[in-house]
């Protein structure tokens, strides 16, 4: 008989092997060197124990002793505070606020478009979403230039949010062309990190083989 999730002695992450929001949590776990039990959830048949702890049945869902969290950006910040080394948030309040705002915009705008592309059934809507996502990335091109990472020389939570999106661009059928050179270069810096490599599922590895 399966042990109730909130009675497990180790941290547990309910994840999906292709879900970008699950992916960014796995990146943070790997960056922090945190060992967690990762339970791969089929979105077509979610386990009863997930529904029992999360009324929406969504992934990612994190269980840490009696704590249950199921919104990806909240999970990211919790992990950064729970395991403070290496830090993935700026030290000062202004910098932290700016990073939170950027994480919110990426989730609301770009992740929203990505989900539309992945789950869309109307060809025109999918095409428009691809165009909007491509134009959105290119519209902030200067933000990808100059620093080693996004708006910073230090790797942070916003990079953990952007990495799954950029990893999936070719899979989504989006080509930034020559204009996106700086974005592609930034993406390769993220993909070369050991933690990013460790975060990938087999299904995610296959995404980059799609041409």
Sign of the CA dihedral running 44, 47, 51, 53: negative
Say which residues have a Cβ less than 8 Å from residue 195's Cβ, sequence separation at least 6.
27, 30, 31
Say which residues have a Cβ less than 8 Å from residue 126's Cβ, sequence separation at least 6.
116, 117, 120
Q: Between 157-167 and 181-191, two packed helices, what is the crossing angle to 10 degrees?
A: 110
Residues annotated catalytic, as ranges: 19
Cβ–Cβ contacts within 10 Å for residue 107, how many? Answer: 17
């Amino acid at each position: 008989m399966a042990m109730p999730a909130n009675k497990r002695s180790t941290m547990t992450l309910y994840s999906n092997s292709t879900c970008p929001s699950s992916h960014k949590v796995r990146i943070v776990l790997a960056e922090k060197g945190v060992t967690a039990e990762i339970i791969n959830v089929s979105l077509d048949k979610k386990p009863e124990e997930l529904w029992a702890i999360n009324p929406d049945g969504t992934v990612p869902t994190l269980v840490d002793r009696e704590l249950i969290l199921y919104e990806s950006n909240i999970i990211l910040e919790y992990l950064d505070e729970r395991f403070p080394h290496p830090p993935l948030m700026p030290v000062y309040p202004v910098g932290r606020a700016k990073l939170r705002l950027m994480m919110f915009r990426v989730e609301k705008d770009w992740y929203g478009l990505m989900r539309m592309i992945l789950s869309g059934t109307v060809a025109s809507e999918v095409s428009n979403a691809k165009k909007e996502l491509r134009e959105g990335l290119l519209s902030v091109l200067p933000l990808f230039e100059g620093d080693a990472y996004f708006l910073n020389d230090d790797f942070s939570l916003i990079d953990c949010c952007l990495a799954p999106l950029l990893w999936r661009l070719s899979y989504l059928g989006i080509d930034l062309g020559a204009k996106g050179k700086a974005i592609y270069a930034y993406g390769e810096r993220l993909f070369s990190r050991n933690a990013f490599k460790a975060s990938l599922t087999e299904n995610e590895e296959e995404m980059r083989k799609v041409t």
